[in-house]
Amino acid sequence: MTGWQHLSLEAGGGIGVLRLTREDKRNALDAAMMEALADLCRQVERREDIGVLILTGSGRSFCAGGDIAAWSAEGPAAFGRHWVRDGHAVLDRLARLRQPVIAALNGPVLGGGLELAACADYRIAEDHVRFGQPETGLGIIAGWSGTQRAVRRFGAQVVRRMALFGEVLSAEEALHAGLADRVVPQGESLGAARDLAQALLKRGPLATELTKMLINAAEGEERERVLDSLAGRIAAASEELQEGVAAFREKRPPDFGGRGE
């Protein structure tokens, strides 16, 4: 898969660093990269050695958004079915990772890059970074939840300012508007993200995971899956499950304590 050459995942000390590495295109996303990102998210979800994920870009860019050359070549049907719907599903997977995600924003956060950053639980922006949603200036919409998740997480008015009126925000403006959680000097976002990740790793891992799920559910991110997951954890830890599985293997009726007798 060609997208793998433009993404990297490093892990150590409980921290994973997922980096976009397509520097010649300012880390713009194409379809192959999105497929690779989905695969990486599946890996991260299952890795017990990663308790926090940091998302960042190589070079001087975080992510310039979707690669215009890639999506403009799609016909209307393919654009809607694959570029928008599939891309939306990939970012959903990132936003719903069990691990907290910290975005180290080291360059422009535009279009799909803003939608990518919105998937993070915490955003650290360098002081030179600009935020915007330029899609309507190209005659297209923000199709990867830029008008949905972004509104839930940042508020409708700031999204209107960027998406409808084309306003581009500085790092400080983004901080005051809630798009960024912290602003640091140029070149310091990754170090600050690592420090924050180290502090987060000292907190209860299960409590952290469950709290993230509950917050996601509260903002409508994945309410049904959260309920099923929490109920499944309770059932999986119960004596009833042990008895039910044992009865199945022994080909006998299960004994759940005589209820109904």
Closest CA to 131 of 172, 94, 93, 73: 172
- 123, β-bridge pairs: 103
Q: Are 31 and 77 in contact (CB under 8 A)?
A: no
Helix or strand or coil: residue 20? Answer: strand
Catalytic-labelled residue, pool 23, 115, 126, 221:
115
Q: Which residue type, as a one-letter code, is found at position 117?
A: A
Helix (H) or strand (E) holding 206: helix 205-218
For residue 222, count CB atoms less than 10 angstroms from its CB and return exposed for 0-12, middle for 13-18, buried for 19 or more: middle
Closest CA to 212 of 116, 101, 111: 101
Kindly report the backbone phi and psi dihedral angles of residue 234, in degrees, each rounded to the nearest multiple of 5, phi listed first.
-65, -45
Q: Are 101 and 121 in contact (CB under 8 A)?
A: yes
Q: Are 144 and 109 in contact (CB under 8 A)?
A: no
Catalytic-labelled residue, pool 48, 74, 126, 135:
135
135 is known as an active-site residue: yes
115 is known as an active-site residue: yes
Angle at 160 between CA 159 and CA 164, to 5 degrees: 120
Distance spanning both ends of the chain, measured CA to CA: 60
The catalytic site residues sit at 115, 135
